[in-house]
Chains A and B, each alone.
Chain A
Amino acid sequence: MSAPTTTAPAASAPPAGRRRGAGPAAPPRGRRRTPLLLLLPAAVILIPLVAYPIYQLGLLSVLDFGQAQASGGVPTRFVGFDNYRGILTDQQFWTVLAQTVGFAAFCVVATLVVGAALAVLLTRIGRTARLVLTTASMAAWAAPAMTGSTVWSFLFDTNLGLVNDLLVKLGLSGFHEYNWFYDKWTAFLIVGAVVVWHSYPFVMVTLYAGINAIPAEILEAASLDGANTWTTFRRVTAPMLRPILTIVVIQSVIWDFKVFTQIYVMTTGGGIAGQNLVLNVYAYQKAFASSQYGLGAAIGVIMLLILVIPTALYIRTLRRTGNEL
C-alpha cells in the first residue's frame, strides 16, 4: 500500500498553518550536529538497504549475469549496454511496456472517478450511511493485496465461482464454465477491479477530508454573491481541491505502475504465455524464473527511469503549492 496521506494534506495548507518554523521565523536552534544525529538511524538503514541496492541494480544491468555467475562458477563479465539492447529490441518488452502503461492508466482513472464520486457522495448523506460506507471502504482498503487476489479469484473461478453461477442464472448461459483469466482483456479487467477496490478508499477519504477543509464561510460567501452550485464548484471548490487532487493522481500513477501481487497471484505469474505481464512482474520473472539477472536488472533500471517522471512532477507540484520540501 502506498498511501501518501501526509503530502496531500500538507499541500493544501493555508498560510495560517505555517507553524513548522519555516522561513525567517525559524530560530537557529541547537548545535549543527543534532539534526544529523537524529537522521543517523534512518541513514544506517536506508543507505545499505535502498541506496546501495539501487547502485547494485545499475551494476547488474551492465553485467552478463545468469545462473552460472550467480552461483559463482563463472566470473561476471562487463557487457556494457548489451542487456538494454537485448531488451529494447525484444518485441515482448514493448508489448509489456504498453500493457503496463495502459493498465496503470485504466486503474488510475477508475480509482479517481470512483474515489471522487464517493467523496462527494459522503458530503451529501446522513451520519449512519456515512459510517457504513466509510467502514466498508476501510475493509476493502485494509484487505491485503494477497487476500484481495485470492477472494476475487474465487469469485471469478471458472467452475466454482459465484459470478459465473449468477450470470448463468440471469440467463447468460455463455458464462457457464467461462474462464475469465483465459482472455487477456478480461483477466486485466478483473485484476484492475481488484486494484481499484483496494485503492479507491484512500482517494475517497483524502478528497473528503479536502472538501471538508474548505471553510464554510467561503461557500456561504459564494452563495451570498449569488453563485449557483455549479459555479461554486467550478470557481471555489475545484480550485481549492486542485493541489490535493494533483497529488492523489500522481501517487495513484506511481502506485498502479508498480502493481505486482495481484497480477502475479491472479494470473499465476503473468497470464497464459505471459499475456498479462507488466514491467514489474516481467523483471521479476526474467531474473528469478529464467535466471537472467542482468536482463531483469536492466528492466528494473528502465522502470526506475520511467518513474522519475511522475516523481519530478510530484516534487514540482509540492513546491508550486507553497510547500517547502
Chain B
Amino acid sequence: MNTRSRWRLAANSTAYLVAVVAAFPIFWMVLSAFKPKGEVQSLHPRPWTTHPTLESFRQVLGVDGFGRYFLNSVVIALAVVVLSGVVVFLAAVAVTRFRFRFRTTVMVMFLIAQMIPVEALTIPLFFMFRDAGRFAPGIGLNTLASLILVQLAFSLPFGIWMMRGFVAAVPVSIEEAAQIDGASRTRILWRILLPLVAPGLAATSVFSFIAAWNDFVFAKTFIISATQNQTLPSALLVFFKPDENDWGGIMAASTLMTLPVLVFFVAVQRKLVSGLAGAVKD
C-alpha cells in the first residue's frame, strides 16, 4: 500500500468514526424509546435490546396525550412554512428585482431582525398577546395562532435573506422575454419566477419548519392554562421529575419529535447541499 492510499484509508476511517459519534445520540434516543421500561432505567445500559417494545410510545401517546401535542406542532409548523413561503417570496422579489428608496435600509432592518435574541422579546410579546386576547381571544395567549404569528415573524428576516440569493440567480432575461411575449406582471411572478426558485423556497422552508418545530420558549411562555394547546417541546418538560426522570417516556417523546424533521432533512439533504454549493458558485 502506498502512502497515498494509506492516507485515503485514514481519512475514510476518520470520517466513519466521526459519523458514528455524531449519529450516536440519535441512535441512543431511538433505541431507548424502544426498550422496555426496566431496561431503560437500568444501572448498566446496553447498546441493544432483545425485547423491543412500543410500551413507552403507547404511554406517551395514550396516557400523556402526546398525540395532541404532536398535532399542534404539525399545525403550527405547516402554517408557518406555507405563510412564510408566500411572504418571503414576495419580499425577496421586491428587494432583488427593484431599486427603490430605502432598499438598503430595509435590508439592514431584516438583518438586524435576524440577529435579535428572540427570548428577549418574549417579555413584551407576552403582554401584547395578553392584551390582544382581551379584544380578539382567537389570537391571545393560550392559542396556536399566537405561536404561529410569532414564529412567522421570526422566520421572515432570515428567509428573505436566504431567498434573495435564489431569486437573484434567475436571469432577468427570462422575465423580460416573458414580458415581451405579453405575460402580465402577476403571471410572470407566479408562473415563471416561482417555479424557478422553488428549490430555494424548499431550502428556506426547511429552516422555517425547523425553527417553528423547535420553538420552546414561546410555547412555554404563551401556553399557560390551555394545556391542550401545548406543543411537543414544552410538553416534554412534564417528564422531568425532581426525583427520577422517566427516561423511557422522554426518549419516546423525543423520538416522536425528532423523526419528522430527520426524515424531512435527510430527504432534502442533497437539495440543501447542492443548493448551498450552487449558491456559493454563483
Contacts and interface: CB of A to CB of B under 8 A. Distances in A.
Interface of A: 1-10, 12-13, 17, 19-21, 26-30, 32, 34-36, 38-39, 41-42, 45-46, 49-50, 52-54, 56-57, 60, 70, 118, 121-122, 124-126, 129-130, 132-148, 150-155, 157, 159-162, 165, 197, 201, 205-206, 208-210, 212-213, 244, 254, 257-258, 260-261, 264-265, 268, 279-281, 283-284, 287-288, 293, 296-297, 299-301, 303-304, 307-308, 310-311, 314-315, 325
Contacts of A54: 116, 121, 124
B226 interface: no
Given A2-B114, A147-B257, A265 B152 contact: no
Contacts of A293: 123, 127
A251 B276 CA distance: 16
Contacts of A142: 210, 258, 261-262, 264-266
Interface in B66-94: 86-88, 90-91, 93-94
A325 B104 contact: yes
Given A38-B90, A138-B265, A303-B120, A144 B280 contact: no
B149 interface: yes
Contacts of B196: none
A162 B124 contact: no
Contacts of B240: 265, 268
A9 B279 contact: yes
Given A20-B96, A144-B258, A146-B254, A296 B123 contact: yes
Nearest to A36: B100
Contacts of A212: 277, 280
A283 B120 contact: yes
Contacts of A299: 120
Contact of A126 (B8, B99, B125, B154): B8
B128 interface: yes
B262 A325 contact: no
Contacts, number: 354
Interface residues of B, number: 119
A5 B123 contact: no
A10 B43 CA distance: 51
Contacts of B94: 34-36, 38-39
Contacts of B178: none
Contacts of A160: 40-43, 45, 247
A297 B124 contact: yes
Given A136-B23, A154-B250, A212-B277, A325 B157 contact: no
A314 B280 contact: no
Contacts of B211: 1
B147 to A, nearest CB: 12
Please name the 6 residue pairs, one residue from A and one from B, whose CB atoms are nearest each other, closest first.
A300-B120, A9-B279, A20-B168, A56-B124, A49-B153, A142-B265
Given A38-B91, A46-B113, A209-B273, 16 more contacts: A2-B158, A6-B166, A20-B167, A36-B94, A45-B153, A52-B124, A125-B11, A135-B266, A147-B257, A150-B251, A165-B43, A197-B22, A208-B277, A265-B237, A283-B120, A301-B120
Contact of A41 (B20, B91, B96): B91
A138 B269 contact: yes
B121 A213 contact: no
Given A144-B214, A147-B258, A30 B98 contact: yes
A135 to B, nearest CB: 6
A294 to B, nearest CB: 9
A121 B172 contact: no
